[in-house]
Amino acid sequence: MAQSGIGIIEIFEDFFGEEDRLTGTQTIYKRSVGPFRVYGCGSEDGATGGVPLDETVCPLGGVAVVTASTTASDITGLTTTKMFDVALMAPLIMEARVQFAGLDSKSFFMGFSDENDEAETAILTSSGTAVTYVASDLVGFHWDHSMTGVSEDDWHGVYRGGSAADETDSAELDLDSTIAVGLWDILRVEIDNNGTARWYVNGVLKKTLEGAVSTTANLAAQLYVESHSTTAGVVYVDYILVRAGRDWTR
């Protein structure tokens, strides 16, 4: 319901600061990068977490490196609390500019979901052409090195929890947008108050789906990387934007 006052919630992090790296000597519940909490079972030692790159190697504008541990299936992510309700606060928007140095042994998710516990493992997994969902409610972008087939190097638009049936065939989730290794991609997902979602890559609308996600579940905005081997999973993040309407319910 429209009200006077600050009616838009906007979270924007450009990774200019000197946020702490998460280390094994620190309590994980007290670590953050800008407004985002660092979470996941792959973020508890001195070689992992999410930190801005040193100025000697950092591209202009500020860039963070999000790194999961060298243990397979561990993740490191940046997340809000579960603070977004689609029906009450839409349109929900999340946008991030990201880059992979290579399509190595890792997976990635960016978007909204109803899972962000400290010890959380991945909210979905992929193997071959099959996607398996773990979270009850999610919508966003996904890539997994375990994918095979014609879409294995592409971004995928994943979803669960709305009136649309879960799609588990990666070919059907393919957004026909190849990941540009070593180059930046701008990923943006938008959700209307009826659960309709739209996926954009570099400003181009790639997919629209009605009933993609629940209109009542409490969702967190999150971005994470998962390691799939003894090689650490890494993603570079230039910025993250999250925007929603305020819930003015009394």
Q: Is the pLDDT of residue 233 over 90?
A: no
Q: Is the pLDDT of residue 60 over 70?
A: no
d(CA 175, CA 187): 11
> Which 3 state secondary structure label does DSSP give 30?
helix
Cβ 40 vs Cβ 50: under 8 Å: no
- Which of the two residues, 138 and 71, has the higher pLDDT score? 138
> Which 3 state secondary structure label does DSSP give 171?
helix
* Model pLDDT for residues 106-153, shown as the tens digit of each residue: 999 999 999 987 656 789 999 899 999 999 999 999 999 888 887 789
User: Which ranges of the chain does DSSP label H, i.e. alpha helix?
Assistant: 86-89, 170-173
d(CA 147, CA 47): 27
Phi, psi of 179 (to 5 degrees): -65, 130
d(CA 159, CA 138): 5
Which residue, among 187, 240, 244, has the nearest Cα to 14 in the 3D structure?
Answer: 240
d(CA 31, CA 23): 9
Mean pLDDT in residue range 166-189: 95
Q: Is the pLDDT of residue 56 over 60?
A: no
Phi, psi of 4 (to 5 degrees): -75, 165
Q: Is the pLDDT of residue 51 over 70?
A: no
Q: What is the pLDDT of residue 20?
A: 46
d(CA 223, CA 50): 11
- Which of the two residues, 16 and 26, has the higher pLDDT score? 16
Determine whether 219 is exposed, middle or buried from the number of CB atoms within 10 Å of its CB (0-12, 13-18, 19+): buried
Other C-beta atoms within 10 Å of 184: how many? Answer: 14
Which residue, among 53, 23, 40, 27, has the nearest Cα to 224 in the 3D structure?
Answer: 40
* pTM score, whole prediction: 0.89
Question: Quick one: what percent of the chain has pLDDT higher than 70?
Answer: 82
* Model pLDDT for residues 205-228, shown as the tens digit of each residue: 999 999 999 999 999 999 999 888
Phi, psi of 120 (to 5 degrees): -65, 135
Other C-beta atoms within 10 Å of 210: how many? Answer: 12
Question: Quick one: what percent of the chain has pLDDT higher than 90?
Answer: 57
Residue 103: DSSP 8-state: -
**Domain annotation for the chain: domains and CATH numbers:** 18-245 (2.60.120.560)
Instruction: List, in sequence order, every beta strand (DSSP E) within the chain.
Output: 8-13, 32-33, 36-39, 49-52, 64-67, 75-79, 84-85, 92-99, 106-113, 124-127, 130-133, 138-144, 154-160, 174-178, 185-191, 197-201, 204-209, 218-227, 234-245
Cβ 235 vs Cβ 53: under 8 Å: no
